[in-house]
Amino acid sequence: MLPSQLSEQEIKERATGLLRRFFGYSSFRPLQLDIITDVVKGHDLTVLMPTGGGKSICYQIPALLGSGFTIVVSPLLSLMKDQTEALLACGIPAASVNSMQSDEVNNDILRKLSTGKIKVLYISPERLLLELDRWSRDLPVDLIAIDEAHCISQWGHDFRPVYTQLSRIKEVFPDVPVMALTATADRLTRDDISAQLRLSNHKSYIGSFDRPNLSLKVLVNPGKTQKLNIISALIEKYRFGAGVVYCMSRKGAESMNKELTERGYKSAVYHAGLSADERNTTQELFANDRIQVVCATIAFGMGIDKSNIRWVVHNNLPKNIESYYQEIGRAGRDGAKAETVMFYSYSDVITLQSFIDAGAQKSINAEKLERIKAYAESNVCRRRVLLSYFNEILPHDCGNCDVCTNPPVRFDGKIVAQKALSAVVRTDQKVGITMLIDILRGMSGSELVSKGFHLIKTYGVGREMSFGQWNHYISQLIQLGMLEIAYEDHNHLRVTPYGMQVLKGEIEVSLAKYVQPDTASGRRTKKSRYEETRKLSSDDLLRINLVKAREDLAKKEGIAPYLVVNDLVLESIVRLKPCDMESFAAIEGIGERRVIRYWKKFVGEVRKSLGLSGGGLSAGATVKETRWLLEKGFSPAEIADIKGVKINTIYNHIAELIDDDMYSDFSRIITRRDYLRVMDEYEKNPDTATEKLKEEMQYGIIKIALAVSRYLIRH
């Protein structure tokens, strides 16, 4: 049962307490708390938030508030495993029932459901449907969350027929609230979800799709080396993180992987042409930070919750904004800074256009391609373009896209435009971009000469500009609608009527100035790398040691490093340099379980880096830790266990705290009977009391009784 009898205020307070305790976050993100309150109050909900927006918390906190358990329907095995591990790492009892486990294990979990020992159960839709027939209706189900709920809709991009049967949930558990969650913004899909699930009277929450920590960048027509240099620079910049290069084809992914491997980077491929085993291996290596890059087709990503993907590169233009946004959304899920770069070239447009021509739903897909092209070619803040696609208005420029940080400088481009347009006319509109540039630059390739293009009047009128420069300007002429690509006629260029007006000098042309691509950062020699390691700052060194410590802990626990602590937390440790347990515990994103398990290792590294006594702690600091643990509700015996010391030591700490007026909840530590017994003995004979009492109780308890009596005299 969810505590629906509580007032909204009470629900909010409890929810915030649980968020802090288990996840270590001090506040909710927008909408989360309203969603939680509503669901506790018994409403059915649909929740729409971008990937990384924080959907999981919306059902995990209610799960903790309820007395029974929460079911999470999830379509992907690997995701289930990942999320179960993530919850366990926070100290939340979670389990999953899936086909990778033996029947024995699964049945054991299912048996435990009525005992209250499991709070969150991840299950596939198929299995849930099966169980619905078997389960007793008084199983304590608090809430049913349906993740990736767009799979229920035929309009969506991931339709799974089995999802449509989930409407049976409401037949079996009519009073249990259902929460459907998705990152798919598509309107049709959204409406379909609630209809298919038979959610009558449901509420709908739509979060902002903005992901401000993702930087956005698009490079028009980059060369192959330039692409590789940019990717290399990203790999080196984020040595402790990982990245994904999305490619249009398997072949593209394979060859990118080869290039990166040859440059000495740890890279792997992922596409539908590989065996399930091969794909699993890649995912596993990636999750555990064993490889730095995955060169993938779009098949990669649904099943990864890895929060420390620091960059995503699109080697080709994606087919629409939805897929693009979902793919870049896999970066920076921990909220730390992440970079995204898209390489955009006309040959991609041509390929995608041919896919569309050969497939179904031509007009919709063509329109979607137009929209992503417009995004790639945008001269205004890209985030504004992106969000407006999802019907969201960003009222200001974002400052974190390439247009914002590097606004184009404009110049009068009339002459440049006329040179290009005139050359197209003079070749009878029978050339593509490359040939046009060759003509303008006066090159003498054999095809050019054999077709007689070296004889036309505009041959060589653009010698002063590089290939890249011309490419940049001709792209703009296409974007501006002065030239168009005739996809049906060998992708030759054509001058549009608007372009003809430019040729005649009737229209002014303003072009964005070409900027020499900065690839220097990507071209590092061995020597400069060496010099760089010598220049590591003390923070860099600390970061390296923390990453190492995180790896060790991950290995010990058999989980992925980002589940120990994520990159954002790691950065906070570097910045805040916590020197004791208390300040470690105060860091955003570290819940209680993580404090207890990891503080020693991380604080030890920080102290070492500051030259403080060999990672050891001052007496005062360890007393403070005891107080922190007491405040969290741990008993002295548990604290002794956590810290690996004798219980008497903890009693000593507590006595000290009482003497310093820092602790006064005595009844938790000592019984009234013991206290009176100690007082009694000391009144009789203070000289022999201790010896005598030691036969009856722990020495530490005696010290506590004495501290309490001093406290009572003082107050």
307 makes contact, choosing from Zn ion, ligand ADP, none, with CB < 5 to 8 Å by partner type, with ligand ADP
Q: Of Zn ion, ligand ADP, none, which one does residue 381 interact with (CB within 5 to 8 Å by kind)?
A: Zn ion
* Least CB distance to ligand ADP at residue 588 (A): 7
Applying CB under 6 A, among 22, 28, 344, 682 the residue interacting with ligand ADP is 28
Sign of the torsion angle spanned by Cα atoms 129, 130, 134, 135: negative
Nearest approach in angstroms of CB 37 to ligand ADP is 14
Reduced to 3 states (helix: H, G, I; strand: E, B; else coil), residue 649 is helix
Assess contact for 66 and 143: CB atoms under 8 A: yes
Number of residues this chain uses to bind ligand ADP (CB under 6 A): 17
By CB under 6 A, tell whether 57 contacts ligand ADP.
Answer: yes
The Cα 509–Cα 414 span in angstroms is 5
Closest to 433 in 3D by CA, of 375, 373, 494, 374: 494
Integer CA distances (angstroms), 45 to 59, 72, 102, in order:
11, 14, 34
Phi/psi at 95 (nearest 5 deg)?
Answer: -155, 165
Residue with tokens 């404009």: 410
Residue 404 interface partner, choices ligand ADP, Zn ion, none, CB cut-off 5-8 Å depending on type = Zn ion
- For residue 246, list its beta bridge partners: 296, 314
Which listed residue (61, 71, 89, 401) binds Zn ion by CB under 5 A? 401
Both structure tokens of 620? 């005062």
Q: Rank residues 30 and 407 by Cβ distance to Zn ion and give the closer one.
A: 407
Name residues contacting ligand ADP, limited to 548-567 (CB under 6 A). Answer: 566
Helix (H, G, I), strand (E, B) or coil at 93: coil
User: Under rule CB under 6 A, which residues in 291-310 are in contact with ligand ADP?
Assistant: 307
The neighbouring-strand residues paired with 141 are 69
Residue 398 binds Zn ion, judged by CB under 5 A: yes
Interacting residue with Zn ion among 312, 381, 495, 581 (CB under 5 A): 381
Report the distance separating Cα 342 and Cα 323, nearest Å: 13
CA separation for the pair 609, 618 (Å, rounded): 16
The beta strand positions in 207-327, using DSSP E, are: 214-220, 242-246, 267-270, 293-296, 309-314
Task: Output the smallest distance, CB 147 to ligand ADP, in A.
Answer: 8
Q: Which region among 29-37, 383-391, 507-515, 678-686 touches Zn ion (by CB under 5 A)?
A: 383-391
Q: Which part of the chain contacts Zn ion (CB under 5 A), choosing from 236-244, 322-330, 356-364, 396-404?
A: 396-404
Kindly report the backbone phi and psi dihedral angles of residue 215, in degrees, each rounded to the nearest multiple of 5, phi listed first: -85, 150
Q: Which stretch binds ligand ADP (CB under 6 A): 197-205, 273-281, 329-337, 363-371?
A: 329-337
Q: Between 44 and 334, whose beta carbon lies closer to ligand ADP?
A: 334
Residues 192-221 that bind ligand ADP (CB under 6 A): none
Look up residue 626 and give its two tokens.
Answer: 């005891």
For residue 308, give Cα distances in angstroms to 183, 288, 420, 616: 19, 11, 46, 30
Region binding ligand ADP by CB under 6 A among candidate stretches 47-55, 245-253, 406-414, 579-587: 47-55
Q: Does 25 bind ligand ADP (CB under 6 A)?
A: yes
Closest separation in Å from C-beta 57 to ligand ADP: 4
Nearer to ligand ADP, 23 or 470 (CB): 23
49 contact, one of Zn ion, ligand ADP, none, CB 5-8 Å limit per kind: ligand ADP
Q: Scanning residues 564 to 593, which ones bind ligand ADP (CB under 6 A)?
A: 566
Distance CA 462, CA 453 (A): 14
Looking at the DSSP bridge assignments, the partners of residue 71 are 121, 144
Kindly report the backbone phi and psi dihedral angles of residue 344, in degrees, each rounded to the nearest multiple of 5, phi listed first: -125, 120
Under the binding rule (CB under 6 A), the answer on residue 333 touching ligand ADP is yes
Q: Which residues bind Zn ion (CB under 5 A)?
A: 381, 383, 397-398, 401, 404
Q: Which residues bind ligand ADP (CB under 6 A)?
A: 25, 28-29, 32, 49, 51-57, 307, 333-335, 566
